[in-house]
Each structure stands twice: as structure tokens, then as C-alpha cells.
Structure 1
Amino acid sequence: MQTGENEQALRKIIDFTRLLSLTLLIVHFYLSCYPAFQAWGLTKPLVNHVVLPLSRMVIFKTVLYAKASALLLLLASLIGSKGKKDETIRIRTIITYCLAGVVIYFISDLVLGLHYPFNTVAILYISLTSLGYFLIMSGGSLLFRMIKLNLGKDIFNKDNESFPQEERLLENEYSINLPAIYNLKGKPRKSWINIINPFRGTLIGGSPGSGKSYFVIRHIIQQHIQKGFTMLVYDFKYDDLTKIVYNALLKHSHLYPVKPVQYVINLEQIMHRANPLEPHTMIDITDAIDSSRTIMLGLNREWIKKQGDFFVESPINFVTAIMWFLKKYENGRYCTLPHVIELAQVDYKELFEVLLQEPEIEVLINPFVSAWKNEAYEQLEGQVASAKISLARISSPQLYYVLSGNDFSLDINNPDEPKIVCLANNPQKSQVYGAVLSLYINRINKLVNRKNQQKCSMIFDEFPTIYFNGIDNLIATARSNKVAVTLAVQDYSQLKKDYGREQAEVILNIVGNVVFGQVTGDTAKQLSERFGKINQEKESVSINSSDTSISKSVQLDYAVPASKIAGLSSGEFVGMIADDPDNRIELKTFHNMIQNDHEAIKQEEANYKAIPDIRKVEYEDILINYNQIKKDIKHILNAVEHSL
């Protein structure tokens, strides 16, 4: 026990052991150099009577035995010694002292064989042996003063913050499995990130260059195609992901019960055409409201945080009325977004006369008609002009051409006609294109989230660049309909900026699978709290003038601190996965380095086939379509006028 009496007793034992070592060495000197001691007059009968019988002991039979015995007693006394620990002591100094001391201590035996006067031999032998002895004692005392302070090797607490992770490969017909390597108490171990239930939503995050696409998204695409998923891929930087989809489908299309067809909506390089406002998919007016809200908020991202305001809801209602009118007029023959844009530009008098022909939208347009009849033109302009100005930004012949076609229907997970649809964006024009693509996503969302459809994977790279109205509802309800949603963001703050704080918090908290690379700030803090705490050993050292105390304890601390998440390398990810009743996983949290076969991927990409040109469109054809839409609007106006 650490009591004063025990420590005092131990100190006396150590002192006695060291004194015994010195006594053995002095007796050895007396016996080995007896003629010299005799000449110096240092021999006494009483001393001889005590010491000379000791020469018959085993340890004094040879010089080596005597010196080794003295050295062993010295080392024993050093092991139990205490002293003020010194952080400046270096191992190189200790090794130098000890090696030099051992060499001098034992090589001094050669002096006894020199043919010099016995006085000179005795002085040399005693001096060298004593020097070696004291060098060993100095080195040993330094060693035992330093060794207990050697606690700071893991200065970043890397090993202490490691924890066991899932090392089994857990597969099912829906899973995403990523091989990885993690650190456990300083030893690398193989592990797996098993996203066995992607239908609970997957959020992938990380700053630019952290490896979201290269280490995670490409594998989700390839593995889901191998497992027969239909797919919607939002490719922000076309054709990074579209090329992966195209070549994976070429390789694995035979695994589908019905071979899917890949479609690409590209607003710059026209490939396929599709009408996001297909009239037969708009069941009731709420579908028109959702579509109107999506396109208007996509074009005016700052409105997302102002939903409910008069001058935000008014343009949405205005566009909704136009959409629903076109849906009902002649069975939806002219129900396309280009027709909505063109009809919105018509003068109030003609426009209201047309819209009033549809009783279902009378409630929606009544505020506008009232303002017009009461000559409240400033209010009317404020209500309607923002809609006209916003829609005018996507009024171009090329966009009209893509948005008014019918190459395919948007029910991508129809078991009889499975599809893989890629939506191509351009970072330089993302605000305009993103709004149009948001409308496609909104309509596809309505159609895929139904029962008895084929399993579907929806992957959104750079998710904040689009406006997905109802993403939280999709994640919450699509699990039972086998729809897997994967969202990729750079940072939580980016999500807050584009979707507002409340919506961003819902998205972050509702997803079941979280995979994040390097992020900083609030994102890192929230992730650290989400991953929880683990038991970690804590060591503290207290040094005073006479002693050193070292204390150890076990405390709960963050498994992955925010500072560590902020310093992750490319390809290094932290996260937490969700399990299901059929596949229970105890070790859900991970912090590891995803393993990609870089050479194999490089070779695979070198052998990629280019995405073929689907159609060659002459600009004259685009202009013909553009002018035809304008003629359609004039036809509607004339037809309504004649009917009045």
C-alpha cells in the first residue's frame, strides 16, 4: 500500500541492496589487489580475519563472478528506486552511459594481466572498474527515472480513440458493401461497411476531394445495377456518373428479369425528351401544386425559407392554375412546361378569360381576377410578375424541345418497362437547369413511391443544387416500397443555406445510414455527437521536487472527436449504418479507410465505352418545335374566344 511506513521500508531495502553491492565490490578489490593494499598499509588483522575467509565463497572464486554479483545487486537496487522524473532525459544518453559502463567494467579485467608494478595495476584496475560501475549506476538511474514517463507516443490519441468495427461481410439482395481497413489499438484490421438496408436513406458527405464519388457513389451505382435496381441518377457534373451507369449496365443488364433502358435528360446536348407534366400522371390538382411549387422554388431558392408569404404563395398558385387548366384542356394535349411558360406571358384580360373556363381553378385565380377587376394593378403585378420573370429564365428553344417530348414515361420502376434515368446538369448553369431537373425529380418521386413496383435506387450527387420538394417524406415512406434514396452533400451548412435550417435538420436526422468524409464546424460536431462516446484510458503525470505520481483512469469520451473528422484524409470516412430485423448489427459505427483497387478502376475506366449520341437534332427542328408551342397558345386563346 502507498503508505509512508511502507515507502520508508522499501527505501531502506533499496539502500541496503546498493550498500551490499558496493561492499561486494570493495571486498573484491581488497582480495584481488591485496599486495597493493599491503604496500599502502591498509591491511589490518581484524579486517583480514573477517574478509579473507570470504574469499572461499563461490562469488569470489573468479573475478567475473564477483563483478557480476555486484552488478546484479546494483541493478536490483535501481529497479526499486524512485526519484524525480525528468522529461529531458534521452534514451541515447542512457544507452551511451550503460554501454560504456559495461564495457569498461568488464574489460578492466585485462589490467590484472599487465606486467606493471602491482601498485600501478591496482590503481588502474580499481579506477576503471569503479568508473564502469558508476557509469552503469548513472545510466540505470536515468533509465528508471525516464521509463515511467514514456507515455506520449500517441500524441493525437489515435489508438485510444479506436474501437471495434464490423469485420464481417453482410450481404443481401439490396446491400451495399464497401471493403475497408481500420485501426484498433495501433493494429490495422480489415472491415466492411455493410449498408444492408439502403431503403432507410443514405447521406454521404464530405468536402470537395474527400472521395464521395470515387470511394462510395460509384460502388452504390455498380452494386445496385448488379442487383437489378431501376435507377434515377442526378449527375451534377455530367458525364461523371452517367458514364459509370452506362458501362455498368452494359456489363450487368443480363441480370435483370426485364432488360432496362437507359435514358439521359441533357438540357445542353439533347439526347432524350420527356414531359415532366404528363397529364395522365397528374391525378388531381395537388400534383399540379407540387409541380408548381417545385419549379418556382427551384428558380428562386431564397423563397424556400419564405414559404407561406403572400408574394411567394401567389406566384405558385398562379402557375398551378395554368398547369391545371392545360391538364384539363382537350385531355391534356398541351400540358407541358413550355406551354405553361408561354401561357403565363399572355395579357391579363385574355389569360383570365381562358383560365375562368375551368371551374376547378376558380378558387386559385380569384384573388388575381379580383385585383384586376378592382384595378389594383400594382398588387397584381407583384403577385404575377415574379412568376413571369422566373419562368422567362427557362424560356429557350432548346429547353422547350426537351421538355415537350415523350420518348419515355417517368414511371422508372415499372416492372414491365424498367428504366435507368440520368439527369445531367452543368455546374455553370446549375441554377436554371437545376430547377427544370427538380421538376423531373418531383414527378418521378410521385410515380416511384408506389406499391408492387420494382426496387429502385435514387442517387443525387450534389443534392443542394436541386430543390426536392418532399424529400423527407420520400425517405420516411419509401422504405416499404423498396425505394433507396442516396443524397450526397458537401456540408451540413450547404444544406441549411439551400433548404433552410428546419428542412436541413430533418434530412440529417431522418436518414438511417450516414457516411461522411472530411467536414468541419457544426457538421463535424453533430456527427461526433451522433457517433457517441466510448471508454478511453486517461493518464496523468504529476512531477514535484521529490517524486512523480502517475494516475490512470477510464472515462467516456467521443469515439470520433470533431477535430478528427475535420482532419480525415481522402478516402477516410466515418459514419453509422442502420440494420433491420433480419440482419442485426451490433457494431454500427465505423471510422475507416475505404479500400479501392486503384489500378483495376483505372483499367476499367480506360476501357469504358463512350455514351453514344442518341439523336442528332438540327437547330431548325428545335425552332419549329419552339414556334409550334407559341402557335398552340394562340390556338387555345382563339378557341376560347370563339366559345365565349
Structure 2
Amino acid sequence: MVMQTGENEQALRKIIDFTRMISLVILIIHFYLFCYAGFKNFHVTMPLVDRILVPVAQLGLFSHTIYAKGAVLLLLVVSLVGSKGKKDDKIRLRTAATYILLGSLLYSTSSFLRFVVVDLVSITFVYVIMTTVGYLLILSGGSMMMRKLRLKLDQDIFNKDNESFPQEERLLENEYSFNLPAKYQIRGKNRNSWINIINPFRGTLVAGSPGAGKSYFVIRHLITQHIQKGFTMLVYDFKYDDLTRIVYNALLRYGHLYPVKPVQYIINLDHVMHRANPLEPQTMTDITDAIDSSRTIMLGLNREWIKKQGDFFVESPINFVTAIIWFLKKYEDGRYCTLPHVIELAQIDYKELFAVLLQEPEVEVLINPFISAWRNEAYEQLEGQVASAKISLARLSSPQLYYVLSGDDFSLDINNPNEPKIVCLANNPQKSQVNGAVLSLYVNRINKLVNRRGQQKCSMIFDEFPTIYFNGIDNLIATARSNKVAVTLAVQDYSQLKKDYGREQAEVIMNIVGNVICGQVTGDTAKQLSERIGKINQQKENVSINSADTSISKSTHLDFAVPASKIAALSSGEFVGMVADNPDVPISLKSFHCAIQNDHQAIQKEELTYQDLPLVRSVTSDEIQYQYQQVKLDVRKLVAKISVSQQLD
């Protein structure tokens, strides 16, 4: 390897200067020989020079003007190519090119002056001037072009090329996967790729701010493809009926592919569709089911309690409601075990209520603290323990809600191979807090029933997941993989999840999912995702310009493949993330930054053919009111019956 020393640079400079000097000497000799007659008229010729140049004139180089001027120009170009002048990024290539073109024009056209009929002296003078000026212009333009600092710093302002990386271009499918076609850029070139969620049972998180395209680019395809592949399904439709219509029409199209065609059920608390009892007594095998149901209801109604779990005045109302649920489950084989009956029973007087609950030995341990406070006349403590539960449950006292929750149109074992179901839970953004608590109870009970062995594969999709409280979502994602339960959570941002579930639970949810598809987000969400995707080798170019010299250095360094700032600036339909693989289908290129490709015209055409959701039942207000009064009557009869039996005893 040759070392770049001062001696080497000096020797090179001497060679370049010598080459340029030779070109000038040849040009001067050419002038003297070609314009000899004119110089003789000027009396500038010398006999000694003539004797020296006579042999030179015999050389082929000077036999024609083209040969001599061509040699001069060739030597000039060689000297320019080897020159090392101070680099300057302010030199304009257009100016340099103008100099070269103008100089070449003058340098070449000067040879035609010999055909002009003018006196010999004038021709000689003009020829020398034109050729010399042309030579100097070429020299000046060439020097500028060689000293032009060619940088790519201003060609990739946002560092797009450097932050591009290869992505998975294969379509990898199996009986559980869903696949999204996409396009990505690498080194300025567009390429086709695929987002392959080949193992949805490891959990999928779809994140993105409003308008990022979560539903349109991801969830709608997930629903359609999973129905095509025979999944039973639970869909939480926050903005009913956006997802429910997709489910209904996909089932119409692909329902014949199931071994047993599933039935779609819709729980809508605003407009009665189907009815189901989330506290089915036959599905509650022990008191822990009642505890989970109670916790889900109370934390769903009081979201701020989620961060205070374990506190006395949080656990007391939960235990109180647990006692009521388990009592109704045990009383007359669960005849009155519904949420409306729980609400009504919780509202009766303490004396009567405690007398009723004490009839069940398994409940006694739960209500002992309340009875002790009541017997010791610690009424303030008792109110603090119980009133919060009564007040919270009272918000659910609605005739329509009672009607829906007290029915039994279907059981909640949605992935039963003999009776597969697709259940849609409809929410209303204007009533999300109250409705969300009830729908959370449905989710909790369905979760208990689907996460079992030997059932049909099931897909649980939650749009705007933070608007419901799912107790044990992390446990479901961690354990349901072997039971073929795929969980998909759609959130807007990590901060939203943290606000509704608390920091610890939010971090667990964010970190436990194996597949992440994220649109435009900012803040901590973008930072976490950027770190999750990791770093890649990027080229870095440094330029140092001073009065004496200009130096350029290139290096490679590890930097984030998708910086947080880039995630914050994603367009609608543009997603970044990472997928999980299987041992039998390893994926080396798990990370992606691409634009999901939707066929907008095909989707629009398909939506025009969508059928409206059918009218399940026509219910009058009298029927709803009758059921509402019936629940109240049931509770009064229950209390009265127990009171009579106690008096007889």
C-alpha cells in the first residue's frame, strides 16, 4: 500500500506541471510554424529558431493543424485530471461547462480562419488570440470542474436511503396466518414485500393515532382472512357497526368453508339484537369465577381503581359484589344468576341483604367484615366499603340493559367445535364508560371459556382496546398460544394504554406481544418501537473545509433503522413493526417499514355489495319494561322467601 506523503504529492504536482508545460510548448511551436508567414511580416522570426524548428516541423505531429491542436488538448486534459486543487462546494457545474463549451468552440473554429480572405497579419493575430482564449477557457472550466466538491449530503435530506433496509419479500402462509401486501423502498428503489403474521397466537398489537389506517389497512383484512381460514371470532366493535358489517358479509361469502358454519351474534346494549347472560351459572365452576367477574365489573366502572388494586376501599366493594354473584349462583341452581339480579340485590337494605347472603356458607367469609362493621355500628366504615359498589352498580340500572343481560340466546363458549360462533360486542363512543364495563364482563367470561384445550381455533379482536377492562389479558396472550387463541389489540398510543391500565400493566401488554404493526405514533410509543426494531449499519460522510484544503471522510456506524421522528411522520397506510416466526418457518427479516397496499377500488366495489345487518328481533318498549320489572320482582320474592323461611326456623 503506497503511503500518501508530502514527497509523493510534490512529485505528482511536478508531473502535472510538466505535462501542462509540454502542452503549452507544443501550442507555441504550432503557432510559430502555422503562422510563420504572419510572424515574418511582424519581423519576429529568428534564424536560430528556424534552424531548430525545421527538423521539428518534419514530425507528423505538426503536419496538420488537427494533430497539433489535438495533442495540446489531450495533454491539457491529462494535466487537469491529475490536478489536486482546493475543493470548493460553491463552484457551479453549469458555469464550468459553459467555459469548456465556449473555449472548445473558439479553440476548434479558429482553424477555419485560413479560409477567410483577409490580410495575412490580421488572420495571424485573430488566430492566435482565439486559440489562446479557447485554451485558457478550457483550462479554467476544467480546473473548476476538477475542484468541484461532489457531495451527496444535500441529495438525501431526510436520510431515507441510509435508513432503508431489506424486508421480507416472500409470501409465507399457513392455516393460521394473515398476510398483508406492501411496498418498501431500499436505496431509492421501490420493491414489493409482505407482512407475514404466520403465528397470530403470539399476540398482535396494532397501534396508530386516529386516521393512521388501523382498521382500513389491517383489521379488516385480519377479519376476512381469519374467517376464510375457519376461525371462530370475538370482535369488540367500538364504533358499531364498522367491523360488524365486515364480519357479517365475510361470513356470508366464506361461511361454507367451515366444517360447521358458525352463527353470528351481536350484543348491542343500545339497540337490542341478541341476548346473553355473561354470568351463566353452569360456566362458573368455583368462586374464583365470581371474583374475576366482580373485579371486571367494578374496575370497568371505576377505571381509576385499576391503579389502586389491593387498597382496602377497592377490594371491599369487589368482595361485596363477589358475595352477591356467588350467592345467586348457588341459590336454586343459579336461577337468578344474572347481572341485573346482582344490581337489584345490591340495592336492598343491609339488614335484609346480610340475612340473605348468610344463607350460603361459602359467602360468609366474604361478608364477615361488612357484618362486623354493621353489628358494631361502624356505619361510616360500612358505607365506605359498600356504598361505592352500590353507586357504581346503580349506573347499570337500565331497562334495556336488563333485557339484554337476562336472556340466553347463546352460550359464551364461542369456539365450541360443535356450535362455533362469531360474537360482535357493539359499543357506542358516547356511552363507552358504562357500556364498556358490561362488555368487559362478556370479554372476561368468554376468555375463561375459550382458553381451553380441544376447542376450535379462535381469533379475539379488540378495536380501541383501552376502552374496556380486560382482566388478565397478559395471561391470555402468554398461555393461549397452545389453545389456538389469537389475540389482536388495537390501540392509539402507549400513553392511552398507560392511562387506562396503569404503567405496569401497559408495559406488560406492550412487551409481551410477538407481532407489532404500528402506524403514526409519537412520544414513548415511537421511542419504544424504534428501539424494538433496532439499529443498522449506515454510511456517514464528513466534510471539513478550511482556507488551505478540503477533506472528505466516509465511515459506517450503527444507528436506528427507523428513528422515532420518522415513526411520528408516517403517512396513513404506512406502518413499521416486527413479526414473530415459527421454528418450522424461520423469518430472518422480521422488521418492516412499508406502505400496505390496499386495492381501494376493489374494496369500494365490495362495500357497495355489502348486505345490511339483519333485524334479529323486534322488541317493544313494553317487553323491555316488563323484563325490567320482572327482575325487581324476582329479587323481592327471593328476599321475602328467605325471610319467611328464617321466621319459620
CA 1:447/1:74 → structure 2, altered by over 3 Å: closer, same or farther? same
The residue identity in structure 2 corresponding to 1:254 is H
1:379 corresponding residue in structure 2 = 381
Q: How big is each residue's C-alpha offset from its partner over 1:451-493, in whole Å with a ceiling of 9 and x where there is no partner?
A: 0000000011111111110000000000000000001111111
1:558 corresponding residue in structure 2 = 560
Greater CA drift, 552-561 or 401-410 = 552-561
1:631 corresponding residue in structure 2 = 633
**Unpaired runs of 5+ in structure 1?**
none
Q: How big is each residue's C-alpha offset from its partner over 1:198-227, in whole Å with a ceiling of 9 and x where there is no partner?
A: 000001111111111111111111110100
The residue identity in structure 1 corresponding to 2:321 is V
8 Å contact from structure 1 (residues 82, 547) kept in 2: no
8 Å contact from structure 2 (residues 89, 150) kept in 1: no
Match of 2:485 among 471, 480, 483: 483
Residues of 2 paired with 1:291 and 1:394: CA distance? 15
1:468 corresponding residue in structure 2 = 470
1:45 corresponding residue in structure 2 = 47
1:105 corresponding residue in structure 2 = 107
1:282 corresponding residue in structure 2 = 284
CA 1:428/1:50 → structure 2, altered by over 3 Å: closer, same or farther? farther
8 Å contact from structure 1 (residues 84, 543) kept in 2: no
Match of 1:514 among 513, 516, 522: 516
Q: How big is each residue's C-alpha offset from its partner over 1:36-67, in whole Å with a ceiling of 9 and x where there is no partner?
A: 22222322233333334333333333323322
1:361 corresponding residue in structure 2 = 363
The residue identity in structure 2 corresponding to 1:377 is Y
Q: How big is each residue's C-alpha offset from its partner over 1:303-331, in whole Å with a ceiling of 9 and x where there is no partner?
A: 11110111111111111111111111111
CA 1:22/1:455 → structure 2, altered by over 3 Å: closer, same or farther? same
Equivalences for residues 311-390 of structure 1 within 5 A: 311-390=313-392
Deviation at residue 552 of structure 1 after TM alignment: 1.2
In the superposition, the TM-score normalised over structure 1's length comes to 0.98
Residues of 2 paired with 1:456 and 1:6: CA distance? 75
2:433 corresponding residue in structure 1 = 431
Computed over aligned residues only, the root mean square deviation of the Cα atoms, in angstroms, reads: 1.3
Residues of 2 paired with 1:489 and 1:117: CA distance? 91
2:177 corresponding residue in structure 1 = 175
Residues of 2 paired with 1:266 and 1:52: CA distance? 111
8 Å contact from structure 2 (residues 88, 149) kept in 1: no
8 Å contact from structure 1 (residues 85, 149) kept in 2: no
1:534 corresponding residue in structure 2 = 536
1:604 corresponding residue in structure 2 = 606
Match of 2:140 among 123, 138, 141: 138
Residues of 2 paired with 1:414 and 1:143: CA distance? 77
Residues of 2 paired with 1:54 and 1:427: CA distance? 99
2:301 corresponding residue in structure 1 = 299
Deviation at residue 151 of structure 1 after TM alignment: 4.1
8 Å contact from structure 1 (residues 237, 425) kept in 2: yes
8 Å contact from structure 2 (residues 234, 424) kept in 1: yes
Residues of 1 paired with 2:187 and 2:84: CA distance? 30
1:235 corresponding residue in structure 2 = 237
Residues of 2 paired with 1:151 and 1:68: CA distance? 38
8 Å contact from structure 2 (residues 87, 549) kept in 1: yes
The residue identity in structure 2 corresponding to 1:162 is S
User: Is 1:447 aligned to 2:452, yes or no?
Assistant: no
Greater CA drift, 310-319 or 84-93 = 84-93
Residues of 1 paired with 2:152 and 2:580: CA distance? 41
1:620 corresponding residue in structure 2 = 622
Q: How big is each residue's C-alpha offset from its partner over 1:581-621, in whole Å with a ceiling of 9 and x where there is no partner?
A: 11111111111111111111111111111111111111111
Residues of 1 paired with 2:559 and 2:71: CA distance? 50
The residue identity in structure 2 corresponding to 1:452 is G
Residues of 2 paired with 1:132 and 1:558: CA distance? 53
8 Å contact from structure 1 (residues 31, 52) kept in 2: no
1:78 corresponding residue in structure 2 = 80
Residues of 2 paired with 1:56 and 1:508: CA distance? 88
Equivalences for residues 174-323 of structure 1 within 5 A: 174-323=176-325
Match of 1:570 among 558, 569, 572: 572
CA 1:150/1:61 → structure 2, altered by over 3 Å: closer, same or farther? farther
User: Is 1:503 aligned to 2:496, yes or no?
Assistant: no
The residue identity in structure 2 corresponding to 1:339 is H
8 Å contact from structure 2 (residues 444, 470) kept in 1: yes
Residues of 1 paired with 2:60 and 2:246: CA distance? 83
8 Å contact from structure 1 (residues 230, 418) kept in 2: yes
8 Å contact from structure 1 (residues 83, 546) kept in 2: no
The residue identity in structure 2 corresponding to 1:536 is Q
2:549 corresponding residue in structure 1 = 547
Deviation at residue 135 of structure 1 after TM alignment: 2.0
Residues of 1 paired with 2:552 and 2:100: CA distance? 26
Aligned length: 644
Q: How big is each residue's C-alpha offset from its partner over 1:517-563, in whole Å with a ceiling of 9 and x where there is no partner?
A: 11111111111111111111111111121221111112111111111
**Unpaired runs of 5+ in structure 2?**
none
8 Å contact from structure 2 (residues 197, 515) kept in 1: yes
2:591 corresponding residue in structure 1 = 589
Deviation at residue 26 of structure 1 after TM alignment: 2.2
In the superposition, the TM-score normalised over structure 2's length comes to 0.97
1:166 corresponding residue in structure 2 = 168
Residues of 2 paired with 1:50 and 1:574: CA distance? 79
Greater CA drift, 230-239 or 100-109 = 100-109
Q: How big is each residue's C-alpha offset from its partner over 1:161-180, in whole Å with a ceiling of 9 and x where there is no partner?
A: 11111111111000111111
Residues of 1 paired with 2:60 and 2:430: CA distance? 93
Q: How big is each residue's C-alpha offset from its partner over 1:78-99, in whole Å with a ceiling of 9 and x where there is no partner?
A: 2222222222222322232222
8 Å contact from structure 2 (residues 237, 425) kept in 1: yes
Matched residue SS, 1:149:
coil
The residue identity in structure 2 corresponding to 1:608 is Y
Q: How big is each residue's C-alpha offset from its partner over 1:135-187, in whole Å with a ceiling of 9 and x where there is no partner?
A: 22222222222243344311211111111111111110001111111111111
Matched residue SS, 1:148:
coil
8 Å contact from structure 2 (residues 23, 71) kept in 1: yes
The residue identity in structure 2 corresponding to 1:132 is G
Q: How big is each residue's C-alpha offset from its partner over 1:333-392, in whole Å with a ceiling of 9 and x where there is no partner?
A: 111111111111111111111111111011111111111111111111111111111111
Q: How big is each residue's C-alpha offset from its partner over 1:400-437, in whole Å with a ceiling of 9 and x where there is no partner?
A: 11111111111000000000111111111111111111
The residue identity in structure 2 corresponding to 1:91 is L
Matched residue SS, 2:85:
coil
CA 1:58/1:356 → structure 2, altered by over 3 Å: closer, same or farther? farther
Greater CA drift, 443-452 or 61-70 = 61-70
Greater CA drift, 61-70 or 200-209 = 61-70
CA 1:48/1:151 → structure 2, altered by over 3 Å: closer, same or farther? farther
Residues of 2 paired with 1:150 and 1:166: CA distance? 28
Residues of 2 paired with 1:297 and 1:42: CA distance? 110
8 Å contact from structure 1 (residues 84, 544) kept in 2: no
Residues of 1 paired with 2:216 and 2:471: CA distance? 28
Matched residue SS, 1:287:
helix
